[in-house]
Amino acid sequence: MGTNEARAMSHLEEISDEGIRGMAKAGTVAVVLPSTAFILRLTPPPVRKMIEN
């Protein structure tokens, strides 16, 4: 994963564990949009993992 200088990121339905750790390390806030996953019939974002990291 490259560097991350973002303050916030959204549309995280496909984020990896490495991505979650990188966001936590950089202090980037996750903006969770559950309706996107619902409407597109995607797996919901791993919110619990994001909270725990």
What are the domain boundaries of the chain? 8-52
> pLDDT exceeding 90 applies to what percent of the chain?
68
Mean pLDDT of 10-37: 92
Task: Give CA–CA dist 41/8, Å, rounded.
Answer: 24
- Cβ pair 29, 7 in contact under 8 A: yes
Q: For the chain, give the longest Cα–Cα distance.
A: 31
Q: What is the pTM of this model?
A: 0.78
Share of the chain above pLDDT 70, in %: 96
pLDDT of 34: 85
Of the candidates 41, 52, 43, which has an alpha carbon nearest to the alpha carbon of residue 15?
A: 43
